[in-house]
Structure 1
Amino acid sequence: MGLTRLLPGLVVLCLGAVLARATAVGVGLNHLLVAIALGFVLTNGLGVPDRLEPGIATHKLWLGAGIVLMGASLTLETILEVGGLVLVVVVAVAGATILVVELLSRTVFDLGERLGSLLAAGAGICGVSAVVAVAGAIRAREDHIAYAAATVLLFDAITIVVYPIVGDVLDLSALVFGVWAGVSMFSTGPVVAVGFAHSEGAGQWATMTKLARNALIGVVVLVYASYYARGATGGRLSVRTLWDEFPKFILGFLVLVGIGSLGVLSPAQQAGIENAYNWLFVLAFVGLGTEIKLAELRNTGITPAVVVLLSLLLASILSLAVLTALF
């Protein structure tokens, strides 16, 4: 019964993936960006019928599966070569973004504590996923959650277009572009999409950097839960909360990195895995495109958007300057 319910939407994702590949070859565009565009056209043009929604909603599962498989094409040596510097940049940019959004929200634009915290988590860590996770920890209002999520999605849509253009104009290397996207863009899907739109190497670095940033979500949720509960419960931290919020697919990714580092996979197996995760990404990005709804983006309040725009510009410009100097 479950498969029957998912099947119509899965068929649409598969057809969209095949069409994206074929269209990309015909017009010379990146197939992942074409996949997002197809999903966007579907949801804002024809609309997504209710019977398709359960299957299309599985796109997050395919993205996670693709990221896990991608681990097999990487080695610990490659990651450790510059991984320490990247980790420092990730923590610094995430922390600075959260701080800037909090300060702007509370002292300049008077958005209120909880809405400011939702925007800070979304911009600083991992987009809508962070908004939802922090919302549960701080008991945020439904309208605040909606505003924050819509604002994050607005900038996801903008950065998907802008970042590849900037990368081409500045002729950024794969390493610099991938890490830059990973530390400054918001949601995992758009980061992976623009990374691979630049090059295979940029896609891998973008994904690894974003995973490191996503892993901070458990700590951020604990800190916010502690802050907002300080009056009632003393804000005691919980290891269980940390584990519940930790993105589990990161563990699978690390396992596959370990396997790839052992050298046990043949070139043919490596090629097969690479082909598999490329197809999974195309499936995922057709679904991702359906989440970019113009009607919802129009409802985004101007003040939250200004706050997030200022923090994005600051994080993007400074991180790019640092990365260019380092690498």
Structure 2
Amino acid sequence: MTGLRRLAPGFALLLAVGALGELVGAATPLNSLVVTIALGIALANVAGVPASCKPGVATHDLWLEVGIVLMGARIALDSVLAAGVPLLASVVGVVAFTLVVAEGFSRRWFGLQRRLGSLLAAGASVCGVSAVVAVAGTVRADEDQIAYATSAILLFDALTLFAYPAVGRLLGLSGQVFGIWAGLSMFSTGPVAAAGFAYSDAAGQWATLTKLTRNVLLGVVVVAYSVVYTESDSSATATTLGGTLRRLWRGFPKFVVGFVSVILLASSGALSAAEIDALTRASHWLFLAAFAGLGLDIDAADLHRTGVRPVTLLFVTLVVVSAVSLVGVQFLF
């Protein structure tokens, strides 16, 4: 009970911000999830998050994962299967292309330290901060390099979750095209889902599905960096493989298994329409809590301290990858 009491104030704050975002969204043309993030950012950077609330606010990633699992109830399996091969090929191609672009630019144009460039490339190509943390041990990055990479990724998470829907509407993209595009080219899972649902419900589903498919490739990226850095770094030890396997397991997005399971369960007819509707409502409220936490976690002061070169590298990489992936998605879908 002590642990629950410690988390309760922060969780109550997440629900309060989420409920206010829902009310504003219902009363205006604005999307409630985006309003919730904006309210969280404003509260965190104007009034600050009370110390008593911080442990509970830190659970927002968990609510995002549970919300994604429950969202599987409204994903049509036949649509997923129809997009299967083109979607998988797009994910693999964009991840590989992003790695090549970011690694190449970091060395030839920006002169970044090799390990910092690898952290930024991993974060941009797979799953944002989670990829930075997973790859950091493999490339033996120091704390400053991890801090720079994390701050730069978070900056673009904050910017793209608002910019992408605006660009999508300007270009008149369909929900499916926008969702797959966002899932392929944005950095972190939370902002991808937020941007998708800000655009439309269909876009949110496709964005989340695409991003989860991309997240699964984290293991491949960690192994690839492990091989590259083991061959080039004489300080590598015989325990590198064991450490890599542990990082793979810790970094693997295990909630993806639950997401796929719920899709299969709903598609099999085991869930009634009322049960699917209840899971959908629960997923929406969990997203509200998660996105409130996402906003509350954005500290403008931390983002201001981000180095110029890492930010510029990510900006150039994002522009190139976004443009190429959008052309590909429009051609395939």
**After TM superposition, what 4+ stretches of structure 1 lie above 6 angstroms from structure 2?**
none
User: Which letter does structure 2 place at the counterpart of 1:290?
Assistant: L
TM-score by length of 2: 0.95
Aligned residues: 327
Whether 2:207 is the aligned partner of 1:198: answer no
Whether 2:50 is the aligned partner of 1:49: answer yes
1:89: how far off? 0.8
1:236: how far off? 4.5
TM-score by length of 1: 0.97
Distance 1:13 1:75, change over 3 A: same
For residue 165 of structure 2, what is the aligned residue in structure 1? Answer: 164
For residue 256 of structure 1, what is the aligned residue in structure 2? Answer: 262
Query: Aligned partners of 2:307 and 2:237: how far apart in 1?
Result: 33
1:139: how far off? 1.8
On the 8 A contact 2:135/2:222 being kept in 1, the answer is yes
Query: Aligned partners of 1:118 and 1:281: how far apart in 2?
Result: 28
Structure 1 gaps of 5+ residues are none
1:2: how far off? 0.1
Q: What secondary structure, in the 3-state scheme, does the structure 2 residue paired with 1:229 have?
A: helix
Residue deviations 1:215-238 (CA, integer Å, cap 9, x gap): 111111122122222333476585
Whether 2:83 is the aligned partner of 1:82: answer yes
Whether 2:270 is the aligned partner of 1:272: answer no
Distance 1:158 1:241, change over 3 A: closer
For residue 38 of structure 1, what is the aligned residue in structure 2? Answer: 39
On the 8 A contact 2:134/2:248 being kept in 1, the answer is no
Identity of aligned residues (%): 51
User: Which letter does structure 2 place at the counterpart of 1:48?
Assistant: V
For residue 124 of structure 1, what is the aligned residue in structure 2? Answer: 125
Whether 2:322 is the aligned partner of 1:316: answer yes
On the 8 A contact 1:93/1:183 being kept in 2, the answer is yes
For residue 229 of structure 2, what is the aligned residue in structure 1? Answer: 228
On the 8 A contact 1:59/1:287 being kept in 2, the answer is yes
For residue 289 of structure 2, what is the aligned residue in structure 1? Answer: 283
Residue deviations 1:172-222 (CA, integer Å, cap 9, x gap): 111100000000000100100011111111111000000011111111112
Q: Within 5 Å, give how 1:82-231 maps onto structure 2.
A: 82-230=83-231, 231=234
Query: Aligned partners of 1:240 and 1:109: how far apart in 2?
Result: 32
Query: Aligned partners of 1:240 and 1:6: how far apart in 2?
Result: 28
User: Which letter does structure 2 place at the counterpart of 1:244?
Assistant: R
Q: What secondary structure, in the 3-state scheme, does the structure 2 residue paired with 1:29 have?
A: coil
Structure 2 gaps of 5+ residues are none
Residue deviations 1:244-303 (CA, integer Å, cap 9, x gap): 321100010111111011012111111111111011000000000012211011111111
Question: Mean alpha-carbon deviation: is it higher for 278-287 or for 78-87?
Answer: 78-87
1:108: how far off? 1.9
